[in-house]
Amino acid sequence: MYSQTKIAIPIFQKDCKSVIEVANDCIKKGADVLEFRIDGLKNPDINEIKDTINEINFPMIATNRINTEGGSFKGSEEERFNILYQCADLVDYVDIELQSNDEYIKKIHDTGVKTIVSYHDFEKTPKLSEITYIVEKEQELGDIAKVAFMPQNLEDTITILAVLSHCEDTIAISMGDLGSYTRVMASKFNSPITFAAGTDVTAPGQIDIETMKALLNMDLNIMDE
């Protein structure tokens, strides 16, 4: 029995040369997908970004995260969108936040790329009904819903498992050390993608790729016995 959940490793570097070096290392470590955090670049240049994606030549998520959801992009919202839009035909997925302009999300989705519509809250975990509402809105706009919340207690992490249980094509994450196990459990609910750390940790509670693969393999072997 094999998990259908892909392990994605985020790459958050200041220049494209470093992005390529880290990407090659993450591929060797067993990543299924790379998340190119474009907002990590000190001087993002679209031509250089495109060349970097082509040189890496590996399944990739293009993400250009806004400040309010843990990102570092310093340009305008129009500039942020244009970078993602111009990358859409070169990557497998584009991650764009739910709070982005609906028209921007639609334009990216219309390119044919798989669109991950995401929502992050680094302070709290809402009630299940509120999270379900967010997921439904995301799926109306894109292909895959992504929600990530900070738990205050163990019950909050179980809420995230309930989301995974009830919602298809959804990435649901409970952040921090308390919620780190939800990243492993995502495979049990056929979540399309879970995130692990390679060189860069881009969210609290990310498990390193070696540990993630060992836990997934151990869990699957137990189920096969």
User: What residues act catalytically?
Assistant: 120, 146
DSSP 67: G
Q: Which residues contact 56 (CB under 8 A, 6 or more apart)?
A: 19, 20, 23, 24, 34
Nearest to 209 by CA among 222, 193, 224, 196: 196
Measure the N-to-C terminal CA separation of the chain; round to a whole number of Å: 10
88 backbone dihedrals φ, ψ, rounded to 5°: -55, -35
Please state whether 112 falls in left (phi above 0), alpha (psi between -120 and 50) or beta.
left
Please state whether 145 falls in left (phi above 0), alpha (psi between -120 and 50) or beta.
beta
Separation CA 221–CA 225 (nearest Å): 7
- Contact by Cβ (8 Å): 173, 195: yes
Taking residue 147's Cβ as centre, other Cβ atoms within 10 Å add up to: 25
Helix 46-56 vs helix 16-29: angle between axes, to the nearest 10 degrees?
Answer: 20
